[in-house]
Structure formats: C-alpha cells, structure tokens
Amino acid sequence: MNAAKAILKQGKSVLLICDIQEKLMKAIFESNKVTQNSTKLINALKILDVPMIVTEQNPNSLGKTIPEFDISGAKGPFEKTSFSMCTHEVIKELSTICSGQKPNAIILIGIEMHVCIENTAIDLKNDGYEVHIVADCCSSRTQQDRLLALERMRGIGCHIATSENVIFKMLGDAKHKDFKSILNLIKTPSLEIGLNGKL
C-alpha cells in the first residue's frame, strides 16, 4: 500500500458517522467503549474543523443518533434503508464538502461493522477515496463479525486506524495551533475493544 495515501490532512478529510443509533447500540459488542472512543474522536475533529456527515438506518425503528455525540454542524442525519452510507444525499454532500471540492480521505466510524460499515467502505473505495476505518469506534453485534469485517476491509485496501491514530495524523505536529485544546481529550487513553493482536 502506498504510504502517501495513509496521510490525513485538514481540508481534505471528512468524518462519516454511520448509524450509531439509540436502539441499535443496545445490541452492539462493547457499545459503551465504542461510544466513549467515538465521542473523543468527534470532539477532537470538531476542534480541527473536519466536516462530518451522519446517517441513520430506519430511525423510526432504530431511533436517532445517540445523544452523547455533538453532531451540531454536521451534514444530516440522512435517513436511509440501504446497507451503505453512499446514498444520493451523501454522495452529493461529499462532492463539495471540502471548500467546494471532494475530500481525498474518508474517516469512517459506526455500526454494524460487517454490514453498513463494510458496504460503505466498498462503495467509497470503488469511487476512489482513501478510507480509514477507525477500529475502536466501530463494532457489530458479535466480535466475530467485527473482526472478520476488519480483515476483509484491510484486504480491499482500507487503512485500519484507531481514534488516537486519526487524531495525531490530523494534528501532524505538536506545534499545531489546536494541539493544547486536543491534549485535554487525549490525556485519557482510548478504551480497548478486543482486537487482541489479531490485526
């Protein structure tokens, strides 16, 4: 894999938040840890002015995006029934979301890993995006489905990251003007959710 494509930069990266909804999260493996790690990532990327897009799968049945997330200023939430975030509305937003241009890189978090996350990753890769799957901010109802989906997504060229890995890539330098603000968020390590050295 080309190392240059693993870079994340402000102004060229977007966060996609996939279906992290109240009723669905009740059934998700390590949901509390996913929530805490995702909240940390979202808050850091808001400080860095990274644009965000949110979807909700059939919200009438599965509820709204969990209240722990500050998604003010995000595009959406866009309702969907497809098992990919790449709906007409989301594709339209992506086309101009970075100061009128498409992003180079997509940071992807959400549930379920083996359904909507994986299908979204496939669609995004086919559209030419570099896709960063944030492993500690994604899950499924079972750990088995989660881990196998990560392996498959790595196999199609996705970058498998963690929340802190993404934050530090976006910062790039301790001299970044927002480093001190974000330092308060990263003083507490992100919570581990059972990768167990398998990836």
Alpha helix ranges (H) inside 75-142: 88-94, 118-126
Query: Smallest Cα–Cα separation from 129: which of 99, 164, 91, 162?
Result: 91
19 counts as catalytic: yes
**For every one of its 199 residues, what pLDDT tens digit does the chain have, with 9 covering 90 and above?**
567 677 898 899 999 999 999 999 999 999 999 999 999 999 999 999 999 999 999 999 999 999 999 999 999 999 999 999 999 999 999 999 999 999 999 999 999 999 999 999 999 999 999 999 999 999 999 999 999 999 999 999 999 999 999 999 999 999 999 999 999 898 888 888 877 645 4
Structure tokens at 140: 């499924």
80 counts as catalytic: yes
- Please pick, among 19, 33, 86, 123, the residue that the annotation labels catalytic: 19
- Please pick, among 33, 40, 75, 80, the residue that the annotation labels catalytic: 80
Query: pTM here?
Result: 0.95
- Please pick, among 18, 86, 98, 116, the residue that the annotation labels catalytic: 116
Alpha helix ranges (H) inside the chain: 22-25, 31-47, 59-62, 88-94, 118-126, 143-155, 163-171, 179-186
23 counts as catalytic: no
